[in-house]
Structure 1
Amino acid sequence: MSRRTRFLAPTLAVVAALALSSCAGGSSTAPNADVPATPVTGGTLTYLATTEPPVWDGQRIPSLNVNSLNSSIFDTLVAQDADGTYKPDLATSWDISDDGLTYTFHLREGVTFHDGTPFTAAVLKQNIDRPLNEPDLATVSTGIAGTEVVDEHTLKVTLSRPNAALIHAFSTPHWPIYSGAVLSAHTPAELSSNPLLSVGTGPFKVAEYVKGSKLVLERNDDYQWAPETWGHSGPAYLDEVVVQFVPEPQARIGALTSGQADAVDQVPPLNIPEVQAAGDTVLQQDNTGTPYYLALNPNIAPFDDLNVRLALRSAIDVDGLLKGVYGGVYQKAWSTTLPGTPPEGAFDESLVGSWGYDLDEAESLLEKAGYTEVDAEGYRVKDGKRLTVQWPVDSLYVQTDQRQQLGEAIASSLKKAGFEVVRTPFDSAAFTTELAKGQHNLADASRGFADVGTSVVPFTTRAIPKSGGGSGINYGLVSDPVIDEAYGVISSSLDPQTRIAAAQKVQHRILDEGYAVPLYIPQKIVGTTAAVQGWKFDKVGYTDSFYDVWLAS
Structure 2
Amino acid sequence: MKKWICFFLSIALLLAGMFFTGCGNGKTQAVQQIVIGESTDLGGYDPETNMSYYIRALIFNTLVELDADFKLQPALAERWEMTPDGKTWTFYLRKGVAFHDGTPLTAQIVKQNMDRLRTGMWRSFLPDIADVQATDDLTVVFHLKSPSFIFASDLTVPSYSIVSPTALDVNGKVVKAIGTGPYILEFWQKDQDFVLKRNDNYWGQAPKNEKLVFKVISDPDARAMALEAGMVDFISLRQSLTAAGRLAQNNKLKLEKRLGQTSEMLYFNVNNPVLKDLRVRKAVAHSLNIKEMIPGLLGDSAEPGHAFFSPVFGKYVMPKDVVLPYDLKQAQEYLTAAGWQVGPDGVRMKDRVSLRVRIAFGAKNAEDSLLAGVIQNSLKEVGIIAELVPLEDAALMDALKNKSYDLLMFGQFYIPHNEPSPHYLSGHYHPKAMYGLLTTPEITEAIDQLVITANNKERVALHHKIQGLISEQVPVIVLFHRNNIAAMKKNIMDYENSVGVWQVYRGLEKAYVQ
TM-score scaled to structure 2, two decimals? 0.85
In 2, Cα distance between equivalents of 1:407 and 1:53: 29
Alignment partner of 2:60 out of 74, 78, 86: 74
Q: What amino acid is the match of 1:518?
A: V
Alignment partner of 1:391 out of 351, 359, 373: 359
Aligned equivalent of 2:316: 346
Alignment partner of 1:123 out of 109, 124, 131: 109
Pick closer, same or farther for the CA change 1:431–1:279 going to 2, 3 Å: closer
Alignment partner of 1:138 out of 100, 103, 122: 122
Map 1:334-373 → 2, pairs under 5 A? 334-341=306-313, 344-351=314-321, 355-373=324-342
Map 1:21-60 → 2, pairs under 5 A? 43-52=32-41, 57-60=46-49
Q: What amino acid is the match of 1:254?
A: M
Aligned equivalent of 2:181: 202
Q: Which moved more, 1:399-408 or 1:381-390?
A: 399-408
**Deviation (angstroms), 1:424:** 3.1
Aligned equivalent of 1:148: 133
1:317 aligns with 2:282: no
1:521 aligns with 2:490: no
Aligned Cα root-mean-square deviation (Å): 2.6
Is there any run of 5+ residues in structure 1 with no aligned partner, and where? 1-40, 227-232, 465-471
**Deviation (angstroms), 1:509:** 1.9
2:369 is paired with a residue of what secondary structure? Answer: helix
Alignment partner of 1:452 out of 394, 404, 420: 420
On the 8 A contact 1:456/1:487 being kept in 2, the answer is yes
1:337 is paired with a residue of what secondary structure? Answer: coil
Aligned equivalent of 2:23: none
Q: Which moved more, 1:198-207 or 1:86-95?
A: 86-95
In 1, Cα distance between equivalents of 2:69 and 2:217: 33
Map 1:203-222 → 2, pairs under 5 A? 203-222=182-201
On the 8 A contact 2:97/2:180 being kept in 1, the answer is yes
**Deviation (angstroms), 1:103:** 1.0
In 2, Cα distance between equivalents of 1:439 and 1:258: 41
**Deviation (angstroms), 1:497:** 1.6
On the 8 A contact 1:257/1:278 being kept in 2, the answer is no
In 1, Cα distance between equivalents of 2:512 and 2:446: 48
**Deviation (angstroms), 1:268:** 2.9
**Deviation (angstroms), 1:364:** 0.6
1:248 aligns with 2:219: yes
1:114 aligns with 2:93: no
In 1, Cα distance between equivalents of 2:143 and 2:328: 53
In 1, Cα distance between equivalents of 2:154 and 2:251: 39
Alignment partner of 1:406 out of 356, 367, 371: 371
**Deviation (angstroms), 1:262:** 1.4
On the 8 A contact 2:295/2:304 being kept in 1, the answer is no
Aligned equivalent of 1:16: none
Map 1:158-237 → 2, pairs under 5 A? 158-185=143-170, 188=173, 191=174, 197-223=176-202, 225-226=203-204, 233=205, 235-237=206-208
In 1, Cα distance between equivalents of 2:70 and 2:464: 19
On the 8 A contact 2:305/2:481 being kept in 1, the answer is yes
In 2, Cα distance between equivalents of 1:401 and 1:159: 43
1:279 aligns with 2:252: yes
Q: Which moved more, 1:52-61 or 1:310-319?
A: 52-61
2:311 is paired with a residue of what secondary structure? Answer: coil
In 2, Cα distance between equivalents of 1:147 and 1:117: 21
Aligned equivalent of 1:511: 471
On the 8 A contact 2:443/2:469 being kept in 1, the answer is yes
1:485 aligns with 2:450: no
Q: Which moved more, 1:210-219 or 1:142-151?
A: 142-151
Aligned equivalent of 2:512: 551
Q: What amino acid is the match of 1:380?
A: R
Q: Which moved more, 1:514-523 or 1:76-85?
A: 76-85
**Deviation (angstroms), 1:480:** 2.0
Pick closer, same or farther for the CA change 1:82–1:240 going to 2, 3 Å: closer
On the 8 A contact 2:64/2:76 being kept in 1, the answer is yes
1:45 is paired with a residue of what secondary structure? Answer: strand
Number of matched pairs: 477
On the 8 A contact 2:342/2:383 being kept in 1, the answer is no
**Deviation (angstroms), 1:54:** 5.3
1:461 is paired with a residue of what secondary structure? Answer: coil
On the 8 A contact 1:294/1:518 being kept in 2, the answer is yes
Q: Which moved more, 1:327-336 or 1:499-508?
A: 327-336
Task: For residues 221-254 of structure 1, give each alpha carbon's deviation from its aligned partner in whole angstroms, at most 9, with x where no partner exists.
Answer: 111x22xxxxxx2x21111110111122332223
Alignment partner of 2:209 out of 229, 238, 263: 238
**Deviation (angstroms), 1:373:** 3.3
Which has a greater percent of strand?
2
On the 8 A contact 1:125/1:155 being kept in 2, the answer is yes
In 2, Cα distance between equivalents of 1:375 and 1:262: 56
Q: What amino acid is the match of 1:391?
A: I
Q: What amino acid is the match of 2:198?
A: R
1:215 is paired with a residue of what secondary structure? Answer: strand
**Deviation (angstroms), 1:439:** 4.6
2:506 is paired with a residue of what secondary structure? Answer: coil
On the 8 A contact 1:270/1:327 being kept in 2, the answer is no
**Deviation (angstroms), 1:526:** 0.3
Q: Which moved more, 1:306-315 or 1:255-264?
A: 255-264
**Deviation (angstroms), 1:547:** 5.5
In 2, Cα distance between equivalents of 1:443 and 1:53: 27
Q: What amino acid is the match of 1:99?
A: D
1:68 is paired with a residue of what secondary structure? Answer: coil
Pick closer, same or farther for the CA change 1:119–1:346 going to 2, 3 Å: same
**Deviation (angstroms), 1:370:** 0.4
Aligned equivalent of 1:258: 229
1:327 is paired with a residue of what secondary structure? Answer: helix
TM-score scaled to structure 1, two decimals? 0.80
In 2, Cα distance between equivalents of 1:117 and 1:479: 47
On the 8 A contact 1:91/1:108 being kept in 2, the answer is yes
1:277 is paired with a residue of what secondary structure? Answer: coil
1:504 is paired with a residue of what secondary structure? Answer: helix
Pick closer, same or farther for the CA change 1:268–1:514 going to 2, 3 Å: closer
**Deviation (angstroms), 1:357:** 1.1
Task: For residues 266-301 of structure 1, give each alpha carbon's deviation from its aligned partner in whole angstroms, at most 9, with x where no partner exists.
Answer: 06345335344323110011112x521112122231
In 2, Cα distance between equivalents of 1:55 and 1:361: 50
2:53 is paired with a residue of what secondary structure? Answer: helix
On the 8 A contact 2:307/2:320 being kept in 1, the answer is no
In 2, Cα distance between equivalents of 1:216 and 1:452: 33
On the 8 A contact 1:295/1:517 being kept in 2, the answer is yes
**Deviation (angstroms), 1:415:** 1.5
On the 8 A contact 1:139/1:174 being kept in 2, the answer is no
